[in-house]
Structure 1
């Protein structure tokens, strides 16, 4: 199917659901909307894989899942997909990354962890998205906890990474071309107490926000109350029927992924220019034109210590266009610029 607006027609860029394209993930909807508003022709090649073609201005470009384009090579994708290789290349470019190792079996992982005492460690698959398979081990964690974390990571990938936990706050820097176009603070799924409602009621209330849905077709995901969330609450001495104090923030997830109910907060204007330059440098190290760079920093507003956690070859756009709070950074427009439209 091919689509093109009539002269004088336009689509509201602030409406996050694009009529007729509701089945496509929201980042793809952003690119389609922006392309149509530029007078381009949009051709849907395969809906289930979010594969489209853009035509106009004498050009034709293929785009998959909004940020996969012909401008990035397959090898660039493979490098960013493999966190061990990514870390190696970043280190060779004198970019700071968490120190650690890679293992391919549980016994090797346990042996390495025995040497690490009184330190918080992270165990994750060498290839992962949306925070799947990542475990944060507390100081002096028990061997059974370590084995469980390694088993989980190795069930999802042939290799597991064990690395030091980097203190600070994690931010997503979006690099398009030679520019860092947006910075987002992703806050783990949470609710704020009012002194009256239970955690379950607060979650139900927060999930009423029309921006929250299921399956990446809305800017935010609904907060769940499954085993992981219940475990986090139990660890904090709470359960779904607990009534938090007024203004008390209760987290039900440890990972900050928007895909697990987290909040996206635009902090582009607060980020120090040194971190934006660092994000561009990291993307260039792997020859990526479109890249999500996850950086841990202690103070975003001033130059200082940092660690780059990973590079993402298919960064979502909606956290920057439709954040939980903050400005719409119109990153779909930046991708069209990069594609030559």
Structure 2
């Protein structure tokens, strides 16, 4: 399978590395507004890149955003969405289909939770009322023993006091994005898995898939890791990581399907039925003032039925922008269209983007409370690249080029290449670029340049002008070393993990067996007598 075949044109090569991961959601919306000529201001309210607060203004009105959520969404709607119990009650009151369930607060004992859950038909789902990011959600609980384990984990190990017990709806796990009464994107979430080719081992297939994930700004630092859960799932299939699955066989490596756990995102926007989209829109409308949100649903495509699980008022959109399979969806455009309907998307070349590392570092060090990004270049613009031979290694040349570019208010960079050439990329007003070309030719004469090749530059350009270091090789080597180290660690510990998990599973089977439960009192009596 080829991943990321359909990338939003405006985001290709436009997201700096410092904005990778969850920060892509915030950055993509801010970038869309800034490119339209809106004034972009970052506000130092916290030190989390993924939760950076920023505002966009057209001179007449200003809207403040956190991640993808703008200030049109009222605090009351946010409060409801954060609490799963309140959300569910609101949905039920408005006739939106939800799974049957019951809330068990901190006054419930474990026994009372089990008794309440037994009133609902198995399989079940246990989740914390105030959990986020899929943490503490245990699905497809098939019997009372599994329910006890789930309660122990969520309530006592994760320390969530109030639990929501729901019926498990058989279907596919969807995330739909709704804005202004319209579903603009939908994706299916699948747990981490590999697909066999009849030749490579599971470990080799996983290595290849992790390499593919590094190509995505959303997943570059989120590899699928082999852990005890992986070994347990494989053992049920009589597999190890060195087994070779059949061609086309799908082998699951995790049970959770959230993207942060290695899950895949498959775009299904064009496959959504009108009924499913209607449920999602009705769910958003059930929360007063919720103009934009992410709707988590379980969908049975064959019966065209669905239930709403949760609503997120501040959803990340990275999986929609960079799905593992299918078309990317331009949610940033939809958001800015909604908040600034009189603005127009601008994808004319050359495209520009802004640095985020310096902004975040400035905030982290407490150097300023607000940062206004310089306006996007306007007018008759052009981008050019010059490949210069004869000045490699000269720091003075790099500084002189940077100085001349800054004087002319040009954007781009200068960099010594590994092949001995020096690359200069400049972008800005046509007259300024022409003036730069004249000046740089004069500079080249002083530095004994032997050759210069000029070419039009078509990739997006970061505003400002910097001297780039050739650090790609070092970064790649570091990533390769980390990958090799992790792989070596997995190889060394694999047999121990398999053996540990096997005996743990055998132990649980024994203590949960009827024979053990019947003879346990006798064992206790014998222990007491032996101590006398």
Q: Equivalents in 2 of 1:152, 1:77: separation in Å?
A: 28
Q: Equivalents in 2 of 1:171, 1:55: separation in Å?
A: 34
Q: Equivalents in 2 of 1:31, 1:231: separation in Å?
A: 40
Deviates more, 1:238-247 or 1:122-131: 238-247
SS at match of 1:207: helix
Pairwise mapping of residues 114-133 of structure 1 onto structure 2 (< 5 A)?
114-116=118-120, 119-133=122-136
Report the CA distance between 1:56 and its aligned residue.
Answer: 2.3
Scaled by the length of structure 2, the TM-score of the pair is 0.57
Q: Equivalents in 2 of 1:283, 1:24: separation in Å?
A: 23
Deviates more, 1:103-112 or 1:265-274: 103-112
Q: Is the 8 A contact 1:53 1:62 kept in 2?
A: yes
> Could you give the per-residue CA deviations for residues 85-132 of structure 1, whole angstroms, max 9, x where no partner exists?
111111111111111111134222122234456x21111111222211
RMSD (Å), alpha carbons: 2.4
- Check 1:208–1:16 CA distance in 2 against 1; reply closer, same or farther (3 A cut): farther
Pairwise mapping of residues 95-244 of structure 1 onto structure 2 (< 5 A)?
95-104=96-105, 105=108, 106-116=110-120, 119-142=122-145, 145-154=146-155, 155-211=158-214, 217-218=218-219, 221-244=222-245
Q: Which residue of 1 aligns with 2:294?
A: 292
Q: Which residue of 2 aligns with 1:17?
A: 15
Deviates more, 1:305-314 or 1:104-113: 104-113
- Check 1:277–1:113 CA distance in 2 against 1; reply closer, same or farther (3 A cut): closer
- Check 1:282–1:244 CA distance in 2 against 1; reply closer, same or farther (3 A cut): same
Q: Equivalents in 2 of 1:294, 1:22: separation in Å?
A: 24
Q: Equivalents in 2 of 1:63, 1:186: separation in Å?
A: 26
Q: Which residue of 2 aligns with 1:245?
A: 246
- Check 1:91–1:22 CA distance in 2 against 1; reply closer, same or farther (3 A cut): closer
Q: Equivalents in 2 of 1:25, 1:294: separation in Å?
A: 21
Query: Number of residue pairs matched?
Result: 323
> Could you give the per-residue CA deviations for residues 150-182 of structure 1, whole angstroms, max 9, x where no partner exists?
133223532111111101112111001221111
Report the CA distance between 1:309 and its aligned residue.
Answer: 1.2
Q: Which residue of 2 aligns with 1:38?
A: 36
Structure having the higher helix fraction is 2
Deviates more, 1:104-113 or 1:14-23: 14-23
2:333 equivalent to 1:333? yes
Q: Is the 8 A contact 1:16 1:219 kept in 2?
A: no
- Check 1:251–1:291 CA distance in 2 against 1; reply closer, same or farther (3 A cut): same
- Check 1:30–1:220 CA distance in 2 against 1; reply closer, same or farther (3 A cut): farther
Q: Equivalents in 1 of 2:229, 2:83: separation in Å?
A: 26
The runs of 5 or more residues in structure 1 that have no matched partner are 1-10
Deviates more, 1:320-329 or 1:146-155: 146-155
- Check 1:86–1:202 CA distance in 2 against 1; reply closer, same or farther (3 A cut): same
> Could you give the per-residue CA deviations for residues 157-216 of structure 1, whole angstroms, max 9, x where no partner exists?
321111111011121110012211111111111111122222222111100015467xx8
Report the CA distance between 1:62 and its aligned residue.
Answer: 1.1
Deviates more, 1:12-21 or 1:331-340: 12-21
Q: Which residue of 2 aligns with 1:3?
A: none
Aligned partner (choices 36, 58, 61) of residue 59 of structure 1? 61
SS at match of 2:115: helix
SS at match of 1:39: coil
2:319 equivalent to 1:307? no
Q: Is the 8 A contact 2:101 2:120 kept in 1?
A: no
Q: Is the 8 A contact 2:231 2:240 kept in 1?
A: yes
Report the CA distance between 1:271 and its aligned residue.
Answer: 0.6
Deviates more, 1:87-96 or 1:45-54: 45-54
Q: Is the 8 A contact 1:320 1:329 kept in 2?
A: yes
Q: Which residue of 2 aligns with 1:7?
A: none
Q: Equivalents in 2 of 1:316, 1:90: separation in Å?
A: 22
The runs of 5 or more residues in structure 2 that have no matched partner are 1-8, 344-532
- Check 1:285–1:121 CA distance in 2 against 1; reply closer, same or farther (3 A cut): same
Report the CA distance between 1:50 and its aligned residue.
Answer: 1.7
